Amino acid sequence: MDWLESGNMAVKTLTSNKLRTGLTMLGMIIGNASVIAMIGIGQGAQRLASEQFESLGPNVLFVTPGSQGARQRTTFLPRNLVWDDAKAIAAQVPSVASVAPQRQSQLSITYGGKNRTTLVMGTAPEYLVVRDFDVAKGRFINNVDLERNTRVAILGSEVAEQFFEGKDPIGSKIRIRNISFEVVGVLQPKGSFLGNNQDDAVYIPLTTSATSLTGRTSPFGLDLTFISISAINEASIPAAEFQITNLLRRRHKIINEDDFTVQTQKDILRIVGTITGGLTALLAAIAAVSLLVGGIGIMNIMLVSVSERTQEIGLRKAIGASEQDILMQFMIEAVMLSAAGGIVGTGVGIGGILLVAAFSPLQAVVSPLAITLAVTVSGTIGLVFGVFPARQAARLDPIVALRSA
Amino acid sequence: MSTIVQLQSITKVYGIGDIIVNALSGVDLTVNAGEYCSIMGTSGSGKSTMMNIIGCLDRPTAGRYYLDGIEVDTLADNELARIRNQKLGFVFQQFHLLSQLTAWENVMLPMIYAGVPVQERRDRAREALVRVGLEQRLQNKPTQLSGGQQQRVAIARAIVNRPVVLLADEPTGALDSTTTEEILDIFGELNASGMTVVMVTHEADVARRTHRIIWFKDGKVLESNLSPKDVALVSAG
Ligand SMILES: Nc1ncnc2c1ncn2[C@@H]1O[C@H](COP(=O)(O)OP(=O)(O)OP(=O)(O)O)[C@@H](O)[C@H]1O
Ligand SMILES: [Mg+2]
């Protein structure tokens, strides 16, 4: 008996009990749908994350205080990264285009009876260039502000919307930590970055931040929490990283462990990639368990089916079916069940991805690899979990089987 | 005249351990081509056991069995399956048709296992159904057929691979007397056209229509060549 005949026979059997066939396939459908959807959503998250990093600005590097090791050991970071470091990088590193010193803290802001705790960022004019922000209205921080410690504030679009609800905020006075600041500008919306709303921020001159709000806390100068740097082009990023590291080591008189960390977009992307990759793997693992459960469901039903069809098996043997014929018949039924479940499940999974993509910022990523994997795995599961029932069937004694009326 | 079935000192013992049943204890029997025999005997005398051995569904505990010149008691399971497919036709009391298949498809089944090409399969199955008078019922499922019609489909299925012997274990046991007559007519016609037929029956009227009666008792052949006239003898015990 050839494959075509066995396939025909299996189709006939499976379609003769549609309800059972459907219910048996359900396990595989759910299993496959979840594998496809989970991997798709995981990869969508990964892609979203990398796109967001690209939106940070072109060819960006970051310097943060504390070593990688120190960052893992303690939450109190040394305050030894200062404005002079940023100035030195701008002046001495040739592969660097712009340097934006940043010092940021969460502070309470009030305006017209409204109160809100928001990120307040002390920075310099370069910030706009390095981080690729645009001014919507008014102006950004300029060098005069820095020299004179002016109390001016530029609002992120979200903050402007929250406090002013469509009115023009320029010229109004807001209070940061009870100190009055004049609003001189509003930024264009930028969207969120890894769930952080980048538009929910207020920008003030770096110098004003140190003198009026938080005070100087480092013995080495005006301390920073962050330096954002743009390299002159993508090719010069590794050079910039190397040169910045060297410069800061010299300036900080480092002998052993660095007290700062230079990271490129790639470094951060890699970290995010590890996290989202792990997440994807976890989701896939959970989904794989449901595939397994689906396979066990198939085995269960096939076993019931073998004992129900004892007479049929006996008759087939009596008219000349060999053990291999019976084995093949039941194996093909099992594989068809699981592969069909796999295909339907893939459709449902893709539907799920498209649905999630439609209602969230996640992109729809339909991975051909995931689909091939899921269908192959389902087929294999059918094969593996079909073997046992099929062998039971093939080994039935025809006389005993025929007598079981 | 060629010998189709030859049993030599066949024994069959059931049960391992304490309870042992000697279902067959030394059966010698020869059936020649073209014969029309019935096997009679009390319940439990071993008729079905012997039919199963002749039908290669079961193996004897001891003894030799030649089918159409081949010693089948030494064959492997696979080879027996092939013998059942090619040389034997089996009709059961319970018909044993596959309910999800039509009459036509049921008759095609043995040819699928024989590897007969599709077109030939369809033609031969139709011919077989014509022979049993069911050309109008090709597309009916078993549940849409009467008991007698179902048994005729089963006969068509048994003869479609042109077996050397047609075996029937109480083929009319589940049928009323008119339907029994119809089935016996078909067996008679098949035998008239050269088919060797061996049939187990409890009914004297059925046995009377065959040409040779084999009488079974306690796992042995008591009489192997009674004529239909002697049926009363058997019925009396
Ligand atoms: N699988 C088995 N295991 C144990 N004993 C069996 C088995 N099959 C048959 N027997 C016994 O073998 C003996 C012969 O049984 P068999 O079925 O051949 O009788 P029979 O002549 O066909 O009877 P009936 O006319 O009732 O069909 C009986 O005693 C029966 O109980
Ligand atoms: Mg019997």
State whether the Cα torsion B214-B217-B220-B222 is positive or negative.
negative
In the numeric block, the tokens 């934006």 are attached to A100
Task: Closest CB to A1: pick one of B100, B115, B157.
Answer: B115
Quick one: average pLDDT of A155-182? 90
Residue B64 within a domain: no
Residue B13 within a domain: no
Predicted confidence band of residue A68 (pLDDT cuts 50, 70, 90): low
pLDDT tens-digit map of B83-140 = 999 999 999 999 999 998 999 999 999 999 999 999 999 999 999 999 999 999 999 9
Between A394 and A79, the higher pLDDT residue? A394
Instruction: Tell me which of B54, B100, B157, B159 to substitute to probe the interface with A (most A C-beta atoms closer than 10 Å).
Output: B100
Distance, CA B78 to ligand 2 centroid (Å)? 26
Strands B212-217 and B36-41: parallel
What is the ipTM score, two decimals?
0.94
Smallest CA–CA distance, residue A318 to chain B, in Å, is 7
Domain that holds residue B179: 35-57+76-236
Residue B25 within a domain: no
Residue A75 pLDDT more than 70? no
DSSP string, A6-59: HHHHHHHHHHHTHHHHHHHHHHHHHHHHHHHHHHHHHHHHHHHHHHHHHTT-TT
Residue A298 pLDDT more than 80? yes
Q: Which is nearest to A289 in space by CA: A98, A66, A35, A17?
A: A35
Residue B210 within a domain: yes
Residue B108 within a domain: yes
pLDDT tens-digit map of A83-103 = 999 999 999 999 999 999 999
Instruction: State which residues have CB under 5 angstroms from ligand 2, the bound ion.
Output: B 48
Predicted confidence band of residue A76 (pLDDT cuts 50, 70, 90): low
The answer to whether the CB of A89 falls within 8 A of the CB of A229 is yes
Between B71 and A12, the higher pLDDT residue? B71
User: Does residue B57 belong to the interface with chain A, where contact is any CB pair within 8 Å?
Assistant: yes
Residue B83 within a domain: yes
Task: Closest CB to B78: pick one of A322, A398, A402.
Answer: A322
Q: What is the CATH number of the domain that holds B130?
A: 3.40.50.300
What pLDDT does residue A323 have?
Answer: 93
What pLDDT does residue A77 have?
Answer: 54
Q: Which is nearest to A42 in space by CA: A233, A263, A283, A358?
A: A283
Residue B116 within a domain: yes
What pLDDT does residue A194 have?
Answer: 62
Quick one: average pLDDT of A14-31? 88
Of all residues in chain B, the one with the smallest CA distance to A325 is: B113
Residue B159 within a domain: yes
User: Domain tally for chain B?
Assistant: 1
How far is residue B36 from each of residues B140, B167, B178, B208, measured CA to CA in Å?
A: 31, 10, 21, 11
